[in-house]
Amino acid sequence: MNRKTKSKIEVTFIYLFFLIMFVIIGYPLFWAVMMSLNPGTNMLVTDLFPDNPTLEHYKWLFTDPKSDYLIWYKNSLFIAILNAAGSIVITSLIAYAFSRYKFVGRKYGLYMFLLLQMFPALMGMVALYILLNTIGLTDSLWGLLLIYLGGQIPFNAWLVKGYFDTIPKELDEAAKIDGAGHLKIFWTIMLPLAKPILAVVALFNFMAPFMDFLLPRIVLTSPENFTLALGLFNFINDQFSTNFTRFAAGAILIALPIALVFLLLQRYLISGLTSGATKG
């Protein structure tokens, strides 16, 4: 087999792989969109291509008095925005300290970050729930936000620290000669140069509250405090529930703020996703 034929076969298999992955990923999304346009609420009578497509389910989510969808949307946006902003601040400060300072326990602190990444947050939910109950933050959006902010530290701090390590320390030394302190160096040099990796951190932590179900399920009990994932689950969790089309409509709308944030951060994301782990 000559090289040209071999190359064509490899390209064919690559395109075939991408086609299979597109079908696996795209078909459930397409089905959800079509289901949200079907009249009625029962999944068993929905068609992949509805004869009479309607937007009544989207309208119901925002106008029906029985729907708390707007409240859930507001709660999710509230947690997502604060989680993204808080994660950037906390992560960048911790990563800067580990990247630029020499202190006792630094090496073992980095090892601890690696170790903590091996265990999902769900393993510590009993302890976290007891902690939230002790400080009076059970069934509270602030309590859920506290778990998100703390849980993101190990992975993101290691990621951003690796990116900070790629920034030449000569820039710090030049700034110190000009009389700049650590805070000014961090604010005027490190943060502007670290925009790509911080954009990645912001996007991932903005997405988390919209996608997560288990943590809100354990922490939140009042319907007025539900996030979107937990609230939409209540549409279909009952044995006699037939709100599948409304569930699909609500699920589709979750993508809007995530897509908007992705578009705003897009120019930073490519370089940020490929950096941060090159030097530890």
- Farthest CA pair distance, the chain: 73
Contact partners, residue 151, CB within 8 Å, separation at least 6 = 121
Contact 275, 193 (CB under 8 A): no
pLDDT values of the chain reduced to their tens digit, one per residue, 280 residues: 667 777 878 888 889 998 998 888 888 888 888 888 888 777 665 667 777 888 888 988 888 887 889 999 999 999 999 999 999 999 999 999 998 888 888 888 888 888 877 777 677 788 888 889 999 888 999 999 999 998 888 889 888 998 898 888 888 888 888 888 888 888 888 888 888 889 989 999 999 999 888 889 989 989 899 999 998 888 777 655 677 888 888 989 998 899 899 888 887 776 555 554 444 4
Contact partners, residue 78, CB within 8 Å, separation at least 6 = 141
Q: What is the DSSP secondary structure assignment for residue 246, as one 8-state letter?
A: H
Concatenate the DSSP letters of all residues of 165-219 into one string: HTS-HHHHHHHHHTT--HHHHIIIIIHHHTHHHHHHHHHHHHHHHHH--HHHHHH
Q: Is 34 left (phi over 0), alpha (psi -120 to 50) or beta?
A: alpha
Whole-number pLDDT of residue 86: 94
Whole-number pLDDT of residue 46: 65
- Rounded CA-CA distance 3/121 in Å is 50
**Token pair of 173, please?**
């030394």
- Rounded CA-CA distance 157/169 in Å is 19
- 280: amino acid identity, one letter: G
CA distances from 32 to 47, 116, 244, 246 (A): 11, 36, 9, 10
- Rounded CA-CA distance 90/98 in Å is 13
Whole-number pLDDT of residue 279: 43
Q: At what angle do helices 141-151 and 195-211 cross, to 10 degrees?
A: 140
SS (H, E, C) 25-75: HHHHHHHHHHHHCCCCCCHHHCCCCCCCCCCHHHHHHHHCCCCCHHHHHHH
Whole-number pLDDT of residue 280: 42
Whole-number pLDDT of residue 54: 84
